[in-house]
Structures are given as structure tokens and as C-alpha cells.
Amino acid sequence: MSKEHESGMSVIVKTITRLTVGLIFLFGIYILVHGHVSPGGGFAGGVIIALSFVHLMLAYGKEVSFKKLPRAVVHFFESFGALMFLGIALLGFTSGYFFINFISKGQPFKLFSAGIIPLCNIAISLKVGAGLFAIFLALVLLKFEAEKRK
């Protein structure tokens, strides 16, 4: 543990966080990618990915978390998720109408199947995860500034 990371919680919490935060992130990606063959999907996966960064921020303080994921990147991902969802919907015009499932369906019960549904899951998860993490950042930073004034 280096010297400049003195903010945050105690050493026990930091060690446990360092061991588990990667697993939480990986579990979020698993829930997200398998959304069309098993329970889960974009909403739950996005919130789990946001929770992994929230976990990191609560344990280590805001400097380390901003080094991993700056605020501009969070806002970029949120807008990118919304635009990607709209873009997939607009691409349906190439073969018919809005939101048509224009990629081939594939074989059921396989990971690469179901056309645009996995792509939409990825877009939704980017949108939800980045949006909720931006909300959390805004509320936490407001609290920090109110404490600083006193």
C-alpha cells in the first residue's frame, strides 16, 4: 500500500476490496453477456458493474477511483450507450422498419444467437451503469464540498 493512498477506510477493508472488486466486475459482465439465455440482462449487469466501482470508491477514496475511471469517461459512456441503442434501432431501416431484428437469429441456447438482443443488452448496460455511477458521484461530491466548507 503506497503512501499517497492514505484516504479511505482501514487496511483490512482495502485488502478485501482489492481481492473482490475484480470478481464483482467479472460477474457483472457474465450476467450481462448471458442475458438472453439465462436470467439477468442489461439492467442487472449494468447495476452490478456500477456497484463494483462504487465499492472501489467507498473503500479507497475518490482519488484512486478517479484514476481508474475519470468523470469525463463516465459521462462519455453514458451518452455512448444511449446513442448506441438508438443507432441499433435506426440500423433496422436498412432491412425494414424501426427495431427490426436484422441479424440472423442463429441457433437457440448458444451464446452467439438472437440477433440484436445481445448488442442491445450491452448498450443498455453501458447506459444504466454509467448513469447510476454518475448519480452516485454527483451526490458524494456534493457531500464532500459541504463538509469542506465547515
Which residues contribute to the site for another protein (CB under 8 A)? Answer: 31, 35-44, 47-48, 50-51, 54, 58, 71, 78, 81-82, 85-86, 89, 99, 101, 105-106, 108-109, 113-117, 120-121, 124, 127-128, 131-132, 134-136, 138-143, 145-146
Task: Name the amino acid, one letter, at 134.
Answer: A
Start-to-end C-alpha separation, the chain: 30
Q: For residues 1 and 37, which CB has a smaller minimum distance to another protein in the complex?
A: 37
Q: For residues 21 and 31, which CB has a smaller minimum distance to another protein in the complex?
A: 31
Degrees, nearest 5: CA angle 59-62-68: 90
Instruction: In angstroms, give the least distance from the CB of 40 to another protein.
Output: 6
Query: H helices within 61-116, ranges in order?
Result: 62-68, 71-91
Q: For residues 1 and 34, which CB has a smaller minimum distance to another protein in the complex?
A: 34
Instruction: In angstroms, give the least distance from the CB of 57 to another protein.
Output: 10
Q: Comparing C-alpha atoms, which of 116, 122, 118 is closest to residue 77?
A: 122
Instruction: In angstroms, give the least distance from the CB of 137 to another protein.
Output: 9
Residue 140, H or E segment: helix 117-149
